[in-house]
Amino acid sequence: MQVKNPILGLCQQAKFALSAAKVDQCPADQGYEVAFAGRSNAGKSSALNTLTHASLARTSKTPGRTQLLNFFSLDDERRLVDLPGYGYAKVPIPLKQHWQKHLEAYLGSRECLKGLILMMDVRHPMTDFDKMMLDWSQAAGMPMHILLTKADKLTFGAAKNTLLKVQSEIRKGWGDAVTIQLFSAPKRQGLEEAYGVLAKWMELADKPAE
């Protein structure tokens, strides 16, 4: 009998905890956090909502709407974090600078941060923002898993070719530590693989489901 992934039940009961504009407004630095990052309009909110089977993160047709670090509790010691969308041209420069300053402060200071899920639109991967996040995760020794989102927008063959191409580019530039997969929120493609990563980082992989 296949054992249900223990992270699934936790994700289904995810609840909004708080929003923080600065690091000192974040929850206590303990337990397990996994942060979700992505260039504006990369499908980050849709991916979060699909993984949690809820409408936790606001999706918007106006990129750059997520301006705070939004924390969602899975249980007393595990959280998902929706990081500010970044890189959208219409966002005022001072706001961009504010986001970058506090995003870097969060990523560089949180002891409980166990890994980073980076969203890339499969049609427009490896932007400057994506490369910046890859550089940061490598320098910090932070595990990173990439979701190539909106995979349903391409044929299976085209999506697979993009996956292999990006995978090769990352291995050459950043080594084998970064993992990557295809993902589609509308088609619910890639959920099991993503849940497996979350379970491992949150040290749930070997625990039986309740």
pLDDT digits (tens, 9 = 90+) for 43-83: 998 999 999 987 776 654 444 445 788 999 999 999 999 98
- The encoded tokens of residue 100 equal 């970058």
Per-chain mean pLDDT for the chain: 86
CA 123 to chain CA mean position, Å: 18
Name which of 32, 68, 25 is nearest 143 in CA terms: 32
Name which of 57, 126, 129 is nearest 86 in CA terms: 129
- Position 123, amino acid: R
Confidence class of residue 2 from pLDDT cuts 50, 70 and 90? very low
Confidence class of residue 192 from pLDDT cuts 50, 70 and 90? very high
Q: Please, are residues 128 and 134 in contact by the beta-carbon 8 Å criterion?
A: no
**DSSP single-letter state for residue 184:** B
Residue 104: what pLDDT? 81
- Tell me the per-residue pLDDT of 92-108, one tens digit each, with 9 for 90 and over: 666 667 667 778 888 88
- The encoded tokens of residue 139 equal 């320098």
